[in-house]
């Protein structure tokens, strides 16, 4: 989950695909491949998405982290995508006006890590890890 207070947005993120796997592929994300599609519950199982969204919003409202006007969006962060064609098809599928989901591609993730590594000293595990991994990127 990611909470953007400025945009008043709660982003529910499904994280998939280790760097050494065969990668996220369009047929699984879209549910065309029923077997692999079971691994993408946030995108392929409407009831699951609805229950998770309702429960998280209820909890965040109780903690006063969000308000009733907070917009909930969904995203996929993929460490590895099978091919450029799959990435293009996922972007097109997610951009459908009925969805408007977000894709954080491997390149997006790499860019964000590199940008974090350029920050000054922060007592923050994520920033420090990005500095350590910059050498290998």
* pLDDT tens-digit readout, 21-64: 889 999 999 999 999 999 999 999 999 999 999 999 999 999 99
Domain that holds residue 47: 2-104
Co-location of 46 and 69 in the same domain? yes
In total, how many domains does the chain have? 2
Co-location of 100 and 115 in the same domain? no
Q: How far is Cα 4 from Cα 69, in angstroms, rounded to an integer? A: 13
Global confidence as pTM: 0.83
Determine the distance from the C-alpha atom of residue 99 to the mean position of all C-alpha atoms in its chain, rounded to a whole number. 14
Co-location of 8 and 27 in the same domain? yes
Whether the Cβ atoms of residue 25 and residue 33 lie closer than 8 Å to each other: yes
Q: How far is Cα 55 from Cα 2, in angstroms, rounded to an integer? A: 15
Whether pLDDT at 86 is above 90: yes
CA angle 91/95/97 to nearest 5° reads: 165
Whether pLDDT at 133 is above 90: no
Return the H-helix or E-strand segment holding 15: strand 9-16
Co-location of 92 and 128 in the same domain? no
What sign results for the dihedral spanned by CA atoms 87, 100, 97, 107? Answer: negative
Whether pLDDT at 93 is above 90: yes
Write down the mean pLDDT value for the chain. 89
For residue 22, the model assigns a pLDDT of: 86
Co-location of 7 and 74 in the same domain? yes
DSSP letter at 70 equals P
Co-location of 94 and 111 in the same domain? no
């Amino acid at each position: 989950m990611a909470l953007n207070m400025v945009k008043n947005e709660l982003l529910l993120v499904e994280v998939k695909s280790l760097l050494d796997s065969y990668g996220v592929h369009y047929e699984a994300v879209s549910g065309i491949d029923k077997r692999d599609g079971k691994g993408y519950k946030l995108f392929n199982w409407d009831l699951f998405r609805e229950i998770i969204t309702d429960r998280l919003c209820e909890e965040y409202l109780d903690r006063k982290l969000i308000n009733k006007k907070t917009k909930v969006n969904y995203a996929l962060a993929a460490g590895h995508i099978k091919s450029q064609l799959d990435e293009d098809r996922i972007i097109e599928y997610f951009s459908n006006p009925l969805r408007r989901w977000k894709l954080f591609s491997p390149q997006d993730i790499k860019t964000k890590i590199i940008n974090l590594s350029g920050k000054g000293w922060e007592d923050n595990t994520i920033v420090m890890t990005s500095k350590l991994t910059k050498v290998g990127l």
